[in-house]
Each structure stands twice: as C-alpha cells, then as structure tokens.
Structure 1
Amino acid sequence: METPQSVAATTVPTAGKAPEVSNVVTGDGIELPLYRWPVAAPRATVALVHGLAEHAGRYTALAQQLNAAGIELFAIDLRGHGRAPGLRVWVERFDDYLQDADALLDAAARSSAPLFLMGHSMGGEIAALYTIERAASRGRRLTGLILSSPALAPGRDVPRWMIGLSRIISRVWPRFPALKIDAALLSRNPAVVDNNLHDLLVHHGAVPARTGAEILLAMTRIERGRAGLRLPLLVYHGTRDKLTEPDGSRTFGAQAGSPDKTLTLYEGSYHETMNDLDRKQVIDALIEWIVKRAA
C-alpha cells in the first residue's frame, strides 16, 4: 500500500480537446450520449463510468492526459445524468446502471487495444459489480479494473438502523429527497468546487431514497463477490474523502481475489483525487499502471 504526499496545485484542471459525440442504446432501449477521445494506434483503451450526479464531460482534462500517453477514452452519461434522458439521478434498480455499462463496453470493445474498465465514486461501484457479476457472462475481454474513490462501503459513522430505514423509505416513498452532495467535499482546489457548482449538467439537488438504497444494496453484492475477482486491479482513494469511505477501498483491496492488485491512498486528498492538489501524481500513477499492463 502506498501513501503519497500532496504537491501544490492551484488552478482548475485544463480542459482538452472536445470529444467525438454519438449515442449508444442500452438493452432496455435507453439512448445515452457516448463520448470518445480517440488517438491514432492507441496502446490502451479506457471505458469510464462517472460518479453520482455528475457527467462524462467532467473528464475532458483527464482525457487530454490519457491521450498524450497514447490511451483513448470512452465514456457515457449514465441514465438520469448529464445529457442522458430520465429523472435526475433516479435509478429503479442498480442493475439498470449495469445495462449502461454494457452499452459503454460494447462501444469501447470495438477498439483492438487492451481494454480497461474504470469507474469513479458510484461509477467505481458500477464497474466493480459489473466485473464481478456480468463481465464473464458477456464475454468481456478486460485487461484491468480501475476504481477511483469507489463507493464500496457505507460511511463508518452511518449506523445500521439508518441503513435499514433507508430501505424502508425506498419502498414507501422512493422519490423522497434523501441527501445532497456537498461540492466543497470534492476537492481542496476551490476552482474545482466553483466549476462544479456552476456546471449546469451536474445535478445539485437531492438524491432520491430509491437511488441511495440501491447503492447500499449493490455494496453488499460486491462484498459477496469480491473474492472471485481475478483481473488486475487498481484502487485509489483520498484519505480525507467524506463522500465515499476510504475503508471500503482498503477492505476491497485486501479481500479481492486478484493476484495483481494495487491500493494507493493519497494522504490528505478529498473525493476527486484526479482534481485535487496532487492530481498530477494521481494521473501519472494511473497512466503508468495502465501502460505496464497493456504492454
């Protein structure tokens, strides 16, 4: 386990070239925006699943750095997010998000380069569960799994009774406005926080109770299946993340069955390590890990 120290950075990550934009259709007929940042003769392809309440366009700066390293990036807006249709941040069943991941991978798999599935925050939860439960049955040939600040466990301060109550509320009042995401907890960089608050494609309202309950139930499924994971695995998390639980990453890294696994904890970083003060160190390490396994 590595615990890098922070280095200073004071500006918002610089946006890169605009992606190619098209659409994909999920197995249940939902049309989602697909974003591709291509490179000629890529050495690797990354299929990225974004987090709760955000959208794929927030990863343009990351795409620029991946492209510079010869890595192409594919991403979608999940249903109910960004430019995708649907009630904002609503999901009836967590498996609906797995259908979105399926559509993303269908598009990304057309590349001949080694394919990595990556997810941030709730997207990390989606990527982990997809890999555990669906990748093999779908015949996916993945080279690695990358989890950035993944939502893999409830917060350490969340009592069990509250988790049980969330499931009851989900059944009787599924659209109850259960919680809001505090943008100040995303990054120590105030420019990142300000950009998030003024991003019209980010959902700044409440998250419905049903969505929250489905996120919690998916954590249990991941816990049951993580020992069977065999893909090369990279997990990284900020130690001061208050939106997803760093201990969830620690436990997942320890219990995952992958013989090739790397857990990195970034000391002092908030939730979006790739947009925090030590973002260069985070992304350099990400690229190095991908390139080594794509060779």
Structure 2
Amino acid sequence: MNPFTYARAGSAEDAVRRVAAEPGARFLGGGTNLIDLLKEGVMSADAIVDVTRLELRDIAETEDGGLRLGALAKNTATANHELVRTRYPLLSQAILAGATMQLRNMATNGGNLMQRTRCNYFYDTALPCNKREPGSGCGALEGLNRTHAIFGHSEHCIAVHPSDMCIALAALDATVHVRTPQGGMRSIAFEDFHVLPTARADIDNQLAHGELIEAITLPAAGFARHHHYLKVRDRASYAFALVSVAAALDLDAGGRIREARLAMGGVAHKPWRARAAERALRGQAPGEAAFAAAAQAEMAAARPLEHNAYKVELGRHAIVRALHRAAGTA
C-alpha cells in the first residue's frame, strides 16, 4: 500500500473541498472495498478523507411519500429499517442477499454504489486490465470469462457490477443525490448513475472527482405486495451473483400486470434494467406463458462470451422464477 495523508472531514462541504483539491484523494466511508483495493495495489490514494462522522445516516420519509436513505447509513440498518422492510421489501431482500453480516454492518449505502468489480483480472496487477490501467487491454476478453457480462460489454471491458443492493435500486427507480465541488447539489437518476464501458473503462459512474453522495431517494411506489429478489450463485453464501433478478409487479383490479419492474445483476457492467421484458409484461395476465415470453424478449439481446453462454439460459429461467415468486404464482 502506498503512503497517503489522512484527514477527518468536519462537514460534507469540508469533505468535498478536500477531495476536489487533490486529484489523488478519495473518500472513506465503510471502507469494505476501498481498503482491500489499496492493500492489493489495485487502486492508490495520495489522500484519504474520512466521512464516517458526517450526519448522513438518517432514513426518513420524504414529503412526496417516498423514502430518503442517508449515504452513510449502514447496509444492515437500511435492510432492517421498518420503512424499508414494510414499504420497499425488495430492497431489503437484495441487501440481505449480499456479502456477510459483518460486511453489511460496516458497508454504507453510498459505498455500495461505488464498489468496484470483482473481476479476477482487475484484482491481479500482473494481468492487463483497462479498468485498472486504461489502454493496457482486457485480459478477461480472451481469458476465463465464465462470470463476465452478456449485455452491454465492449472490447474495453467485460466485467460485471457486483452489487445486490444496486439491482433493487435500479428496479425501484431510485435517485442519487450528490454534493458538488461548486457548492450545490445535483440529482442523478439511478439508471444513469453507472455507465457502460468505453475506452475509459476505469470510469464506473457519472460522478466527477470530488462529488460526494449524500443520499438516495426512492419514489412512493414500493411494490410491497408483489416483489422478489432472486440471486443465483455458485455457493449459498458470501458469493457474487452469476445472475440475479429484482422483480416487482403492480397488478390491476382484474389481476393483469399494470406495471412491471425488472433489473438484473451479474450480466453487465452496470445494474441492467430489463426494459424489453418490462414492455412484454404490461397488460398480460401473470403466468408461465407471459413470463417466458418476457424472459425471451430480454435475453434475445444477450451477447455471450466464450465461457458464459450458460448465462443466457440461466437468465431466462431466473426471470421466470423471480416473476412467479413476485406474482405469487410459484
């Protein structure tokens, strides 16, 4: 690990000012991903600005009936909060599917959005990786890519986003609120927050250097009655998703699907909003035929690699199963 300076921010404005002033500075929240990356030499920092003491932990209802999640609220506190469990249970399920209790007790909501990929080529500094060193190449592209992307990838990067929480946030149409170095606030639709890989594959999201996530808001519609988070992985605990699906349905009085929300994990560089499947589901009666057609509509655009073609079929089955469980027809 390279040497760096350390400072504890006294306010959000102070934190932003300190990081914006130093190109090699980074925020420290829960640190569950950042510290590992620094230790392994995958990332470096000239300065660490500790934001853990800032008053950004509150979880509270918004004036429009939605919910505001403080960026420094711990994942455990968020998943177990009464308003999250009762009104946004899809989010609670997704958070509890990730990592271990010890990690969830340390990890923060803002940090969850900022975590880096768990691609082995990214973590191994002896191998080429455009995400770690732009222009060096993508070792996974011609290497072992069993766990890599089937949507939205490019010759620059085929890694997948690792978060479970973010898949539910994508399905729920969350918004990210950040403080800028210019002294104001800006809001970013969650679907736009993370980006697909370009020649600058090291850029994971829309944040400019020095911008600090202060909160995440959820709209009033929480899909509390019909929802399910399904995570398919190699082992039952402490493993990242091969494919995951966050499914939420709103049914009309006749039992047909008025609105569908679907997002997938383990398949793309960012949480993948399954728009084709959502369109196919609207107006349909819940059931195997409608769910299978929606899954086929979404997975038709998949571009599997040499070792991960299994994810296409796995994705179809995962979408169908998640929708059955959300609709209560399983």
TM-score by length of structure 1 reads 0.29
Which structure ranks higher in relative contact order (CA pairs < 8 Å, sequence separation ≥ 6)? 1
Structure that is richer in helix per residue = 1
Tell me which structure has the larger Cα radius of gyration: 2
